[in-house]
Structure 1
Amino acid sequence: MNHSINSADRATHLKIVVVALVAGIAVAAFGISARNNADFTQTAQTTQIIKAGKPVAITSSGTSTVR
């Protein structure tokens, strides 16, 4: 048995690619199914809009400046 990936034949490389592809699809499917879809569908309807208030002019901050 040869344990080197460099000297492996074409079938071994194909098996590695297939296993990696299946594992990637499984991880992606798990991530999509684990997402909370209830919050995702309602965000556009329940988003609150914050409007800017009146402009404020600050004349003094009450703190001393060290120079």
Structure 2
Amino acid sequence: MGDRVWQIPQEQFVAAWNRAATLADLSPVLRELAGGSVPRWAAIVRARALRKEGVDLKPLIPQTAAA
């Protein structure tokens, strides 16, 4: 299931990540691009790997519980 995130072309992943405001916003977009569920942890792992390669990704705000 986590492998699906790596099947998304890099340029599409980066564009989706940089358009999203939160990980919750990103999840349905990645699901559509990957053709199935993409765990949030897998998206974070891919983003971290891309950042290590020098790809510029904006920080995403984690979804927090309402007070």
Scaled by the length of structure 2, what TM-score is found?
0.30
Scaled by the length of structure 1, what TM-score is found?
0.30
Question: Larger C-alpha radius of gyration, 1 or 2?
Answer: 1
Q: Which structure is richer in relative contact order (CA contacts within 8 A, separation 6 or more)?
A: 2
